[in-house]
Amino acid sequence: MLFTGQYEHTIDAKRRLAIPSGIRSRWDERVDGGAWYAVPWPGGLIRLYTESDFERLSSERETSLTPDEGAAELEAILYGMSSRLETDAAGRIRFPEEMLSLTQLDGEVVLVGAGDRLEIRDRKAWRKGQAERLAKLPALIARAKNGSSSG
C-alpha cells in the first residue's frame, strides 16, 4: 500500500491510535496482512508498516546463524523494539507503553505518509518544521539521486 498525505490524530489515554478511515478503506487483508508493525525510530517517531511489507522487507536482507557483531546488534535493536499491533473493531491500534515512553509520543500526533510506511510524529514539532523541511527538499532529492541517502 502506498502512503501519502498527513492525518492529524490523537493517541488516547489507553495508548490507542485510530488508523484514518481513508487508509482502512483501502486495506486488503489478503495483500496487506492482518496487522501493523510499529518500529520506534530515533528522533521521537514511530514507523508503521503493514504486516506484509514488514515481513517482505525483513526477508530481503541477508541472514546468518553467525551474524557479525554489528548486524547482531542491529537485529536485536530493530526486532527487539518492534511490535506487531492488531487493529481493533473500531480501527485502532494500541502501542506498548514502553514504545510511547521511549519515543515521547502521546496526545496530539500526525501520521505522515512516507511511501511504504506511515510515520507517527509529534504534531507540534511537525507543524513547526514544515517550511524548513520543504526548503531541504531539493538537497534531499540530489542526495538520493547520488545514492548517498540514509534512512
CB 13 within 8 A of CB 65: no
The half-sphere exposure of 114 on its side-chain side, counting CA atoms within 13 A, is: 15
Q: Is residue 133 part of a domain?
A: no
Local confidence band at 102 (pLDDT 50, 70, 90 cut-offs): very high
Tens digits of residue pLDDT in 103-144: 999 899 999 999 999 999 999 999 998 888 889 888 888 888
| Statement: residue 86 has pLDDT above 90 | yes
Q: Is residue 145 part of a domain?
A: no
Q: Is residue 134 part of a domain?
A: no
The whole model's pTM is what? 0.83
**From its phi and psi, is residue 91 left (phi > 0), alpha (psi between -120 and 50) or beta?**
left
Q: Is residue 150 part of a domain?
A: no
Tens digits of residue pLDDT in 45-74: 999 999 999 988 888 776 666 667 877 787
Q: Is residue 131 part of a domain?
A: no
Extract the C-alpha cell encoding 131: 517550511
Q: Is residue 149 part of a domain?
A: no
Question: CA 54, CA 109: separation in Å to the nearest integer?
Answer: 22
CB 1 within 8 A of CB 50: yes
SS3 9: strand
Tens digits of residue pLDDT in 122-132: 999 999 988 88
As for how many domains the chain has, the answer is: 1
Extract the C-alpha cell encoding 120: 507517527
Q: Is residue 60 part of a domain?
A: yes
Of 131, 107, 134, 138, residue with least CA distance to 121: 107
Looking at residue 101, which CATH number applies to its domain? 3.40.1550.20
Percent of the residues in the chain that have a pLDDT greater than 90, as a whole number: 57
Q: How large is the average pLDDT for residues 1-21? A: 94
Question: CA 119, CA 4: separation in Å to the nearest integer?
Answer: 10
At residue 143, the pLDDT reads: 87
Q: Is residue 22 part of a domain?
A: yes
Q: Which residues span the domain enclosing 60? A: 6-123
